[in-house]
Structure 1
């Protein structure tokens, strides 16, 4: 603001000085015509005093009297002389104009120098003011950039926080489901271990009546004690059992339960068994 006030005061001083100069000029030669009219009058007077105006009039009159068609060399020479005099008259007019214009050029240079001297501090002050405005604008832009960067950092931090919460909830859910699955697998494994392979039902001939021998002892009331023979079995080697036993439906079902429990427990390779995975869709 101080710079603007100083510039305003300087402008008022210059305006007052210009008014004073104009008043002095008006008091000195207020009856003179404007300079653009006066200089034309001065040029006409200079041409008249130097005889240039009369010479130009004579040349124009001679040109008007000259024949339209040049008939011979003498006439052509006269035309050449006339042209030379016209060129000289034109140069004389240009010389008088330069004489009158020289003070004007000097005055213009002086006027331009004075104007530049007046404007230079103003231009410097303007550049300084513009630089300060630009510095302020740059600072504001930097503040806005930092504010936007802070907003992005906060948004990213919030996103990471929410993602961490979601990941933790997903982990807990997976652990819960895995615990349920492990418990189910363990229960099935326990059930499979506890399975007793039922004796296969094999169609055989009706078991004959126990062989009896002659009574050993006979009681007073008709009871008798006899010797009987019953057939039982003991598996000595499962591998040597016949296919009719190993491939029986009950035996295969019991074996399948045992294998399923071991697969759920983590077994992935077993001789004689193809262990594979199936992908499905679960809704929870």
Structure 2
């Protein structure tokens, strides 16, 4: 249901995520056994759009259990820092980093609210600030987020965001063919569904969560207002999971609508850079 922003939104969301960390860490969805053995957690389009990270510093905001963060380290980033507001998530990420043999200088994880990142992370700026894949919907204010994220981009560096397309939140859950919700709504969305995307049948107690839908125009405008130059905005016809029952798993692991029905964007990605002069 839609509602005005509840006063307990931050505490509710943190309890929600804290409880799901051990479920995710043992789930087939994250498949940490394969990850430990070398499986890459990053998507092909992210690798292509971010490019070579060799020798660069990378900050991952809202990193959850750190598999994407550590994948960037595996791809050659000189230093990766992951930040998440969930202490259990950060502890899980730290344990993974140790198991993979990364020193704290190569892969560090910090428990802090994303809006406090500038005060919480080890350095004042990074070559790449990376975020997304189900992150922005947990934040009420894109401008505040963009100001924080942009402040951590080093001169000559860039922010890269890969995220689920807000259009998908407007469509009916059963088929993904009918518009049922307001694309421009600024209201909080309160959900109390048990389980988790990594295990729909998992028994859970802290089921109350609060989310927001952010039109792409708001995200792009917030980044531009924060002083970054938009290099590209790409929309993708694929999702990481079966957002609608009609989506079909493809050979590349993504989910898409059947070939006989019109496509809509299911994900999007943005690269936004800071001038080398720091201006």
Under a length normalisation based on structure 2, what TM-score does the superposition of the two structures give?
Answer: 0.16
TM-score using structure 1 length = 0.16
Pick 1 or 2: higher relative contact order, CA cutoff 8 A, min separation 6: 2
Q: Greater helix percent: which structure? A: 1
The structure whose Rg is larger is 1
**Structure with the higher fraction of residues in strand conformation:** 2
